[in-house]
Chains A and B, each alone.
Chain A
Amino acid sequence: QLQLQESGPRLVKPLETLSLICSVSGGSISTTGYYWGWIRQPPGKGLEWIGNIYYSGSTYYNPSLKSRVTISEDPSKNEFYLRLNSVTAADTAVYFCARFRSGDLDAFDIWGQGTMVTVSS
C-alpha cells in the first residue's frame, strides 16, 4: 500500500529556506498518471495548494508562492522535495505531501500525515 511521509526541520529562522522531503513507499513516483504535490495549512486555517510535480520533472506552482518555491524529485530515492525561500511567520503551517492521480480520476487520493513547520527566530 502506498504511503507518504514528510520529514525535515520543524523550526526555520525567518528569511531562511524551508526544506522538506516526502518519502514514498509501496509504489514508484515514476508511475505515469500520477503527480506529486505539496499542500499546507496554517494553524487554525484552511488548506492551500503549493504545487505539483510530474515524474517527467514538470512543475506547477501556486502563483502566490511561485517566486519562492521549488519542487523537485529524485526517482532513484523515490522522494520529492519542497524548498521555500525567504520564509516569514506567515509560512508557519502543517505541510502535507500527497499523490494526485490525473485523468478522469483527478484527486489527491493519498496523503502523508503532515509535518508542522514553525518559522521563528
Chain B
Amino acid sequence: AIQMTQTPSSVSASVGDRLTITCRASQDIRSNVGWYQQKPGKAPKLLIYAASTLQSGVPSRFSGGGSGTDFTLTIDSLQPEDFATYYCLQDYNYPFTFGPGTKVDV
C-alpha cells in the first residue's frame, strides 16, 4: 500500500499567516491527491482534488500543488474558521490511504 506522510503534524499559527502543509507519497501517484479539512465532531470537507483543483465553494485562499510524490496545501491569510485538522488522501490506487493529519491551532 502507498504510504502518505504529512508535515508538520501540528502547527501553531495566527490569523493572517500564510501556511503550507506538505504531503509525501511513498511512490509516484501522479496528481491523485485530495486535501480535506476536518473540524472537531464534524465530517471531513473536501478542499482540493487532483492535487491542485479547488473544490466548488471553497475559498480561494486555499491552494494545492505538486505531482509525483510531493504535494502541498497552502492557506493564504489564515482565517479564524481555518483552525482545523487537514488530511491528504491518495486516490491513485487501492487501498486509498490518508496522511496522518496536520492540526492547525492558535
Instruction: Show the binding face of A for B, using Cβ within 8 Å.
Output: 39, 46-49, 52, 60-64, 96, 98, 100, 104-109, 111-114
Contacts and interface: CB of A to CB of B under 8 A. Distances in A.
A47 B44 contact: yes
6 contacts: A46-B87, A49-B89, A49-B98, A108-B34, A112-B43, A114-B43
Given A46-B100, A46-B101, A105 B50 contact: yes
A60 B45 CA distance: 22
Interface of B: 1, 32, 34, 36, 38, 42-46, 49-50, 53, 55, 87, 89, 91, 94-101
A82 to B, nearest CB: 15
Contacts of A113: 42-43
A49 B44 contact: no
Contact of A107 (B91, B94, B98): B91
A108 B44 contact: yes
